């Protein structure tokens, strides 16, 4: 049987959730609608643990000063989005050493062939052909370590992370079968809406901060005018109707975004814009996104003025994360046969 966070004699505990995001440059509307919005919603009903996955970020070369700035800004932005570190520890991965340690161990339980099949590895090694480092290759076993250290039942992510999640499950099952139940086998939590927000310039590709054309993505900290311009320039089709249909990738994506930020269904949106042109629809999407981001941007500005508070939040969260993850790491090391530490 797989261990869960429920102990036999006590009342059932809340299920545990773990997720993380990389602090690589700007956080996009895709990250927010695909993942962060769900993290915020899940905080009350689950025991949530969140991280900034900065160890993952160095698989691509980083300028040190920019990396530091991106990390603290990403931290503040996620608090501004609504993560409450009192409720849900939200830590910085590199500050909790158990992640790198378990990742090494899991590397020894992950097959070369499995990692070679990861589409993100194939894409990124094409994009960074001059730096196909071992970290880029072994990235999914670090991600598995992140999740398995906390015995997470569920992992809220966008659709692009599904393959990595499946690998984490396989690694957990393999380890459990080789020794005895050790890791909870985590389920992906991929919401129906927002799971795959596409580029505004090429709606067949996911919205990504690594897209060279900045018109393809909305940054969470973009100014209202820029947001509106990007939506007005969004690629659509020549047919003219605002409804979801095959082949209308651009409009389908804009409807998806509009639904996520207004809570409306695709049918309601089609009714609302029946007989209206794309110009009017794009303006409405732009306005809805601007109004969603406005309070987040205001809170972000306030938080960035309060670095002591940010430091306190990530330090206390790292301490909690270290405590929880050490329990799992110790168990794993014992089962493998490492000698116990006597200091
Ligand atoms: P990252 O930093 O690329 O993205 C963070 C989250 O945002 C989601 N996402 C999207 N969702 C919908 N549409 C999009 N266009 C879009 N772009 C990104 C991602 O699916 C993700 O949920 N490897 C992970 C970070 C990570 C992690 C983990 C996640 C490290 N360890 C453990 C979960 C559990 C990553 O690079 O996500």
Pocket test for ligand 1, best of 20, 24, 118, 124 (most atoms within 8 A of CB): 20
Is residue 32 very low, low, confident or very high in pLDDT (cuts 50, 70, 90)?
Answer: very high
What residues are annotated to the active site?
A: 124, 206, 209
A 10 A CB-CB count for 217 gives 24
Q: In this predicted model, what pLDDT tens digit does every residue of 183-241 receive, in sequence order?
A: 999 999 998 888 899 999 999 999 998 888 999 999 999 999 999 999 999 999 998 89
User: What's the pLDDT score for residue 317?
Assistant: 98
Give residue for tokens 């927000």.
197
Q: In this predicted model, what pLDDT tens digit does every residue of 88-144 receive, in sequence order?
A: 999 999 999 999 999 999 999 999 999 999 999 999 888 889 999 999 999 999 999
Is residue 6 very low, low, confident or very high in pLDDT (cuts 50, 70, 90)?
Answer: very low
Task: Give residue 188 CA to ligand 1 midpoint distance, Å.
Answer: 12
Pocket test for ligand 1, best of 16, 157, 325 (most atoms within 8 A of CB): 157
Q: Is pLDDT at 297 greater than 90 in this prediction? A: yes
User: What's the pLDDT score for residue 80?
Assistant: 98
Q: In this predicted model, what pLDDT tens digit does every residue of 261-280 receive, in sequence order?
A: 999 999 999 999 999 999 99
Residues 6+ apart with CB under 8 A from 331: 182
Average pLDDT of the chain to the nearest whole number: 94
For residue 208, give both structure tokens: 């990504």
Task: Give residue 271 CA to ligand 1 midpoint distance, Å.
Answer: 33
Give residue for tokens 């609608």.
33
**C-alpha span between 85 and 71 (Å, rounded):** 16
Task: Give residue 173 CA to ligand 1 midpoint distance, Å.
Answer: 23
Sheet holding 154-156, edge to edge: 90-92, 47-52, 16-21, 154-156, 187-189
Is residue 24 very low, low, confident or very high in pLDDT (cuts 50, 70, 90)?
Answer: confident
The residue whose CA has the least distance to atom 7 of ligand 1 is 31
Give, as one character, the DSSP assignment of residue 219. B
Ligand 1 atom at minimal distance to the Cα of residue 31? 7
- C-beta of residue 50 within 8 angstroms of C-beta of residue 277: no
The residue whose CA has the least distance to atom 16 of ligand 1 is 30
**C-alpha span between 343 and 238 (Å, rounded):** 70
């Amino acid at each position: 049987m797989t261990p869960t966070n429920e102990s036999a004699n006590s009342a059932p505990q809340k299920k545990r959730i773990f997720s993380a995001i990389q602090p690589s440059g700007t956080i996009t509307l895709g990250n927010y609608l695909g993942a962060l919005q769900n993290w915020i919603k899940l905080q009350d009903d689950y025991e949530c643990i969140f991280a900034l996955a900065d160890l993952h970020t160095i698989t691509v070369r980083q300028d040190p000063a920019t990396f530091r700035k991106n990390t603290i800004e990403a931290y503040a932005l996620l608090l501004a989005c609504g993560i409450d570190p009192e409720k849900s520890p939200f830590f910085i991965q590199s500050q909790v050493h158990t992640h790198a340690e378990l990742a090494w161990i899991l590397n020894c339980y992950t097959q070369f062939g499995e990692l070679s099949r990861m589409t993100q590895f194939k894409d990124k090694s094409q994009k960074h052909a001059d730096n196909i480092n071992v970290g880029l290759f072994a990235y999914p076993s670090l991600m598995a370590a992140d999740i398995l250290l906390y015995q997470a039942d569920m992992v809220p992510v966008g659709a692009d992370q599904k393959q990595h999640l499946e690998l984490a499950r396989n690694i957990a099952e393999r380890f459990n079968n080789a020794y005895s139940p050790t890791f909870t086998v985590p389920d992906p939590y991929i919401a129906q809406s927002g799971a795959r927000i596409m580029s505004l310039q090429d709606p067949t590709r996911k919205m990504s901060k690594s897209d060279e054309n900045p018109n393809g993505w909305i940054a969470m900290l973009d100014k209202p005018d820029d947001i509106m311009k990007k939506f007005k320039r969004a690629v659509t089709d020549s047919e003219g109707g605002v409804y979801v249909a095959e082949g209308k990738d651009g409009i389908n994506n804009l409807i998806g975004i509009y639904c996520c930020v207004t809570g409306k269904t695709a049918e309601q949106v089609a009714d609302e814009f029946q007989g209206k042109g794309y110009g009017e629809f794009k303006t409405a999407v732009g306005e809805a996104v601007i109004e969603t981001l406005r309070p987040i941007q205001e809170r972000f500005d306030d938080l960035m003025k309060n670095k002591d508070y940010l430091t306190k939040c990530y330090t206390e969260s790292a301490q909690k994360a270290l405590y929880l993850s050490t329990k799992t790491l110790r168990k794993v090391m014992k089962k493998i046969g490492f000698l116990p530490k006597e200091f």
